[in-house]
């Protein structure tokens, strides 16, 4: 079978691999489509894990099931989460699924961007059968939307609050749409690129601001009458973006760090100012099974749809091209299909 294996940032090779074997408790999924994640474009993050088979936003069809498998059958269309929890440990009991040791150790074999991959009994806990009316591309959105839903839950948006979303790539746009759906009063999308800022208004932002690091605070103060934001979602994984997010926070605000910052980058935070302003910095890493199930419901109901979010689709033989396109400011979401023809 074919698989897209990454050896270094920008070094992707389409290779022939042996088709995975299915154990008595496993299911084999034939991949149909898989998204390219924002984390696939963080050089330091890729270098830390390489080499590996790309893809953790897959949709496919159950090809084969082990003799002990219950609840799945060949021919079903499924979304498969690349991590799943034990539901028994202390973090799971608190709903902190990404801190579960089982969640962290579970994975797809060899990865979502292969023609076939094996789903272990653990990962079957967060494998969802797709409704017949849901398209494959909509199914690919489940994992990214689930990540955004977790961030929204951390943000605890109240009706009428001012929400600022920093960074308006695919995840920023999803965060904008969800903030509007959850009842935010004023939604402001912020980006360095004017085209992205304008696009955000089509997905629910009341205002799209094109800023630089130098004029951001002044622009935001002007449009909020000096009150700044009640909630800030910081999308880009850089210390400078996180610093901008904290600067955007008003009194009692919640600042959600949506992406990891490289380990070598640091940011000066004033404990004095954060204490008296009661600003909360809240990291939001990945998502859990509650989030994926809620994402499926939202997508099914039409709150978000791939038709408006997916900008490019490529067959697997052109995965390197898809990877390049996804790095351009114009791209929202790139999906690789597994039609070799």
236-248 tens-digit pLDDT: 999 999 999 999 9
Q: How would DSSP label each residue in 154-218? A: HHTPPTT-EEEEE--SHHHHHHHHHHHHTT-SEEEEEESSHHHHHHHGGGT-SEEEE--TTTHHH
**What pLDDT is recorded for position 341?**
46
Closest C-alpha to 139, from 8, 263, 310, 9:
310
Q: What percentage of the chain has pLDDT greater than the value 90? A: 90
State how beta strands 2-8 and 52-53 pair. antiparallel
State how beta strands 249-257 and 116-119 pair. unpaired
**What pLDDT is recorded for position 340?**
58
Q: State yes or no: pLDDT of 332 exceeds 90.
A: no
Model confidence band, residue 63 (pLDDT cutoffs 50, 70, 90): very high
Q: Tokens 């993050």 sit at which residue?
A: 45
Q: What top-level class would CATH report for the domain 2-141+305-337?
A: alpha beta
**What pLDDT is recorded for position 38?**
87
Closest C-alpha to 143, from 298, 279, 312, 21:
298
Q: Report the sign of the C-alpha dihedral through residues 198, 201, 215, 219, in that order.
A: positive
Domain layout of the chain by residue ranges: 2-141+305-337, 146-283
Q: State yes or no: pLDDT of 169 exceeds 80.
A: yes
CA 124 to chain centre: 20
**pLDDT per residue over 101-144, tens digit each?**
999 999 999 999 999 999 999 999 999 999 999 999 999 999 99
Q: In what order do the strands lie in the sheet with 207-210?
A: 207-210, 186-191, 162-166, 229-234, 249-257, 280-283
**pLDDT per residue over 9-29, tens digit each?**
989 999 999 999 999 999 999
**pLDDT per residue over 203-227, tens digit each?**
999 999 999 988 999 999 999 999 9
Averaged confidence pLDDT in the chain: 95
Exposed / middle / buried, residue 305 (Cβ in 10 Å: 0-12, 13-18, 19+)? middle
Tell me what the mean pLDDT of segment 49-76 comes to.
97
**pLDDT per residue over 133-145, tens digit each?**
999 999 999 999 9
Q: Report the sign of the C-alpha dihedral through residues 334, 285, 149, 118, in that order.
A: positive
State how beta strands 2-8 and 11-16 pair. antiparallel
Closest C-alpha to 78, from 111, 119, 127:
127
Architecture of the CATH domain 146-283 = 3-Layer(aba) Sandwich (3.40)
Q: State yes or no: pLDDT of 92 exceeds 90.
A: yes
């Amino acid at each position: 079978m074919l698989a897209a294996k990454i050896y270094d940032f920008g070094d992707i090779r389409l290779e022939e691999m042996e088709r995975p074997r299915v154990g008595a408790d496993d299911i084999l999924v034939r991949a149909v489509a898989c998204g390219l994640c924002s984390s696939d474009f963080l050089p330091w993050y890729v270098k830390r894990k390489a080499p590996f088979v790309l893809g953790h936003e897959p949709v496919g069809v159950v090809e084969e099931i082990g003799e002990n498998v219950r609840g799945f059958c060949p021919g079903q269309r499924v979304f498969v989460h690349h991590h799943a929890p034990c539901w028994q440990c202390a973090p799971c009991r608190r709903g902190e699924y990404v801190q579960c040791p089982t969640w962290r150790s579970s994975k797809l074999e060899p990865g979502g961007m292969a023609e076939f991959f094996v789903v272990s009994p653990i990962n079957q806990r967060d494998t969802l059968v797709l409704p017949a009316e849901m398209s494959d591309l909509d199914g690919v959105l489940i994992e990214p939307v689930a990540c955004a839903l977790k961030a929204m839950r951390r943000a605890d948006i109240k009706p009428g609050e001012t929400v600022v979303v920093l960074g308006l790539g695919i995840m920023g746009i999803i965060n904008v749409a969800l903030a509007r759906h959850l009842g935010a009063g004023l939604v402001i999308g912020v980006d360095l690129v004017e085209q992205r800022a304008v696009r955000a208004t089509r997905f629910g932002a009341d205002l799209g601001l094109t800023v630089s690091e130098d004029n951001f605070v002044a622009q935001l103060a002007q449009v909020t009458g000096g009150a700044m934001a009640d909630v800030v979602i910081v999308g880009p994984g850089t210390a400078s973006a996180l610093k901008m997010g904290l600067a955007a926070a008003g009194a009692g605000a919640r600042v959600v760090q949506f992406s990891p910052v490289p380990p070598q980058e640091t940011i000066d935070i004033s404990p004095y100012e954060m204490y008296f302003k009661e600003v909360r910095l809240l990291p939001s890493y990945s998502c859990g099974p509650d989030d994926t199930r809620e994402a499926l419901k939202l997508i099914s109901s039409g709150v978000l749809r791939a038709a408006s979010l997916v900008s490019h689709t490529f067959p697997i033989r052109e995965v390197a091209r898809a990877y390049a396109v996804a790095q351009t400011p114009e791209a929202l979401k790139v999906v690789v299909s597994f039609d070799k023809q």
